[in-house]
Every structure is written in C-alpha cells, then in structure tokens.
Amino acid sequence: MLQQALQKISAEIGSADKKNKYVPVIGGFLINHVRENPEHARLITADGKSIAGSLTAMQAEAKKHAVNGCGVLTDEEGFNIVLRYFGVTIPDLPIAALAPVNFEVSLDELL
C-alpha cells in the first residue's frame, strides 16, 4: 500500500501544471508523511482524493478567515488541512492557541 501511495503522489506531481508550485510542495509533504506514517497510505490512495483536492480544501478554509478578500494560512495550518482532507486525524489545538493575540507597540517603545 505504501508503494501505491507514493506512486499516486508522484504521478500527480508529474502531471501537474508546472506553473502550479503548490502541487510539488504538498506532494513532497505527503511523501514524507506517508513514509513516516505508512499506516496512512490507505488514506492517501482513497478514491476521489488528490493533491488538487487538498489545495481546494485549503483555499476554502483560508476564505473563511479572509480579511479584505485575502485569506492566509500558516504552513502548519495548511498541512493540517491537507492531512484532514485525506482523513488523517489531527488532534485539536487548545482554544487559547487559536485565539488571536492582541499585540500593540508604539515606535517610541521600540526606540
């Protein structure tokens, strides 16, 4: 199953539009993940699941939190969305970790 997952990921990377730099990044992440967690290979090979689909899931999540039409995810958030898309269970973060931090500083304080 591991070999099938690696082949599926590699095939999608190879057939992706060369202008889309996200497919190889996510593909590389998935290759590393499935090598470290071979029990997840069956999730990666599931019918209907693809790197392109995981990018759509990230885009949808970023849109939920967009400000002035711009939604951004951290690397960790994005990779966690990819894993959840493929059915990998990710432990929930404590609510405090998700809350925005109110950080204010004046130029005078920095000088």
Each residue of 25-46: pLDDT tens digit?
999 999 999 999 999 999 999 9
Contact between 39 and 86 under an 8 Å Cβ cutoff? The reply is no
The predicted model scores a pTM of 0.76
**Segments making up each domain of the chain, as ranges:** 2-110
**pLDDT tens column, 77-109:** 999 999 999 999 876 544 444 445 455 655 665
DSSP class of residue 91?
Answer: P
